[in-house]
C-alpha cells in the first residue's frame, strides 16, 4: 500500500473518531456502539496495512481510556471502559 493512501485512510479514521467523540460528548448513546466498531476497524487496518506493532499501540492507548456518557443534569447514563482483550 502506498504511503499516501495510508495517510489518507488515517485521516478518514481521525475524522470518524472525532465525530464519534462529539456524539459521546453530546450524550448520543449510539456513539458508544459506533466507537467499538470504529476501534475494531482501525485496529484491523493497522495490523493489515502497517504493522502489528501499530495495532498493539492503538489497543494499549484505548485500553487506558474510558468514556462516560452524562445527562445534561450530570447523571451518569452509560460508560465504556476497555479492558485487555
| SS3 annotation, 48-81 | HHCCHHHHHHHHHHHHCCEEEEECCCCCEEEEEE
Average pLDDT of the segment spanning 40-64 = 87
Confidence (pLDDT) at 74: 53
Confidence (pLDDT) at 58: 86
Our count of domains for the chain comes to 1
| CB-based contact 66:82 (threshold 8 Å) | yes
CA dihedral 83, 72, 21, 79 (to 10 degrees): 10
- Domain range for 74 is 3-81
Confidence (pLDDT) at 85: 38
Banded model confidence at residue 61, pLDDT cuts 50, 70, 90: confident
Banded model confidence at residue 7, pLDDT cuts 50, 70, 90: very high
Amino acid at each position: 500500500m502506498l504511503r499516501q493512501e495510508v495517510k489518507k485512510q488515517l485521516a478518514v479514521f481521525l475524522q470518524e473518531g472525532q465525530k464519534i467523540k462529539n456524539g459521546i460528548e453530546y450524550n448520543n448513546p449510539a456513539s458508544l456502539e459506533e466507537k467499538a466498531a470504529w476501534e475494531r476497524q482501525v485496529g484491523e487496518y493497522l495490523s493489515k496495512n502497517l504493522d502489528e506493532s501499530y495495532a498493539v499501540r492503538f489497543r494499549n492507548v484505548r485500553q487506558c481510556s474510558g468514556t462516560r456518557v452524562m445527562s445534561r443534569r450530570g447523571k451518569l447514563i452509560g460508560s465504556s471502559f476497555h479492558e485487555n482483550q
